[in-house]
Amino acid sequence: MTRKLSKNLMFTVAGTLLLASCGGGGGSTAAPTAPITPTSNDSLDDIQVSEDFNSFSSIVLVKVEGATETIDASNHTESANAVVGVNTDGSFDVTISNQGDDGDVNLDFDTTGTTRTVGSEQTIFTQDDSNTLTVLRVGVDIDVPFTTTNETINLSYVSFGQWSKTDGVVSTNGFNTARGYTVFGVTTDNVPTTGTATYRGYVDGFLYQATAVAGDPDVYAVRGSLTATADFGNNTITTDFQDMALSQGSGFTDWVDFSYEGTIANGMFTGDADAATQGAGYEGTVNGAFYGPNAVEIGGTWELYGNGQEAAGAFVGEQ
């Protein structure tokens, strides 16, 4: 699903043409050849040209049916039509098509002209009170939540955007609100075929828990840390979500840690919740890809549901 991008930037340098003098005759120099304009970007640190990135996407919804919300596993879908446009002026164009229960949630978010708030780790674009996009910044030190060693990561090739949508389009389709994540970046052209790699990183998400009052679910932000181990020789990957916590008032309380066992193919990976997670009453999937030269970074989306809860989010990490 994620588009592979060729990153070849060619420069032609005109050398000096030496001409032998004959009978007092003069020489000439060839005109220089202009460098070729790139058609794609080598990293997200320095956007040279506006580019569309095919994206992994996850979504969490509350579906209103009668007097209560229902937790429906079919809400957890990976969109086959998620695209993030990254522009040289710092704006983004996000398109989500046919996602969610019955494929009826769509988003077309253009950050041009929106209110922009730049923080130390993220930039928030606000169209109005109901539609926002928060993008994780690249090239800055990002704190990994709740680690005792105060870890940070610094990404150059992958990022994610968190969007929320609560307007009438979603409501008329049977949903009170929709929140989602879209992960994008410069994918690895040639993923290693031997050896192993360990990634440490950041997990973000939202969790909804149904209540007895229609349209009034309990909503929690989810934060945690990632440890992922890829075995390129065996085409397997384990993603462990640790230190997972839910927002409670001004702080966070412990939630459940969980893992996914997956397989690697064509520079991407997919997996299901492992046995221990399923034993705790949760199911879910993970989808992701490798980013940057030699698969130096990793990113993807996750979904988990069970015990009257549904959650979804994104993760990013580096070697």
What is the phi/psi pair of residue 171, to 5°? -60, -45
- Are the beta carbons of 200 and 166 closer than 8 angstroms? no
| pLDDT tens track, the chain, 319 positions | 444 433 333 333 333 333 344 445 555 667 777 777 788 999 999 999 999 999 988 887 655 554 455 555 455 555 567 899 999 999 999 998 877 666 777 788 899 989 999 999 999 998 876 788 999 999 999 999 988 888 999 999 999 999 887 655 555 555 666 788 999 999 999 999 999 999 999 999 988 876 666 556 678 899 999 999 999 999 999 999 999 999 977 789 999 999 999 999 999 999 999 999 999 999 999 999 999 999 999 999 999 988 888 889 999 999 9
* Rounded Cα distance, 157 and 276, in Å: 32
Q: How much is the pLDDT for 56?
A: 87
Q: Please state the separation of Cα 57 from the chain's center in Å.
A: 7
- Are the beta carbons of 145 and 171 closer than 8 angstroms? no
Q: How much is the pLDDT for 245?
A: 95
* Rounded Cα distance, 184 and 2, in Å: 8
- 204 SS3 class: strand
* Rounded Cα distance, 20 and 140, in Å: 55
Domains of the chain (ranges; CATH) run 51-318 (2.40.160.90)
Amino acid (one-letter) located at 94: V
- According to DSSP, residue 216 is labeled -
- Are the beta carbons of 192 and 319 closer than 8 angstroms? no
Sign (positive or negative) of CA dihedral 204, 227, 244, 151: negative
Taking the model in full, what pTM does it have?
Answer: 0.83
Q: How much is the pLDDT for 66?
A: 47
Q: How much is the pLDDT for 171?
A: 54
Taking Cα atoms as reference points, which of 183, 182, 164, 171 lies closest to residue 104?
171
- The Cα-based distances of 274 to 38, 221, 282, 284 in angstroms read 43, 23, 10, 9
For the beta carbon of residue 272, count every other beta carbon within 10 angstroms. 14
Q: How much is the pLDDT for 178?
A: 75
* Rounded Cα distance, 5 and 19, in Å: 43
β-pairing verdict for 92-99 and 82-86: antiparallel
